[in-house]
Structure 1
Amino acid sequence: MMADKLNVTPLHDRVIVKPAPAEEKTSSGLIIPDTAKEKPQRGTVVAAGPGKKDEPVTVKEGDTVLYGKYAGTEIQIDGNDYLIMRESDILAIV
């Protein structure tokens, strides 16, 4: 289980997401420099909290999700970058 590997358990309706890597090339094959890369808006859920009292969390570990451009807080665990956000910041499950 990935959440056990992280040793971090999100509380309530919080979710930990591993962002997808940023695009390296455009569809026409142009290489995008680091300064022009946009933040990814897609990622994989690696851990989810139990939810609120009357609202269980609907996403689960392994789900690929879309989230807002500025959603969540960036954290680093064991040298890896993650985002921790509320489930309401997630726009869709892909």
Structure 2
Amino acid sequence: MITAQQGRSDAAMDIAEALECAGLLMSPEVAAELAQAHEDCIGACLARWEEEQENARLRLAWKSAQRGRREARAELRARASVTKLRALLARQGGERP
């Protein structure tokens, strides 16, 4: 004679077996592997984001340095022009620079 408890137990086993066959029931080991894979993926995404942020900072520093060099070269050219003009004026006025 099958009791109601045994019938429920068999039904639960049948359901668990069907879920496992369908890949919907995970063992603790599989769940742990899935959790580890998820953590690894998050870690890789975070590392990639940090790398992108560092690259953005480097690009900004590079552009700033380029701008500084352009400004410094322009200032040197302006000073050289002023020096040449002073020398020209001194020659025209009979004075030495």
The structure whose residues are more often helix, as a share, is 2
With normalisation by structure 2, the TM-score equals 0.13
The structure whose residues are more often strand, as a share, is 1
Highest RCO, 1 vs 2 (Cα 8 Å, sep ≥ 6): 1
With normalisation by structure 1, the TM-score equals 0.13
Which protein is bigger by CA-based radius of gyration? 2
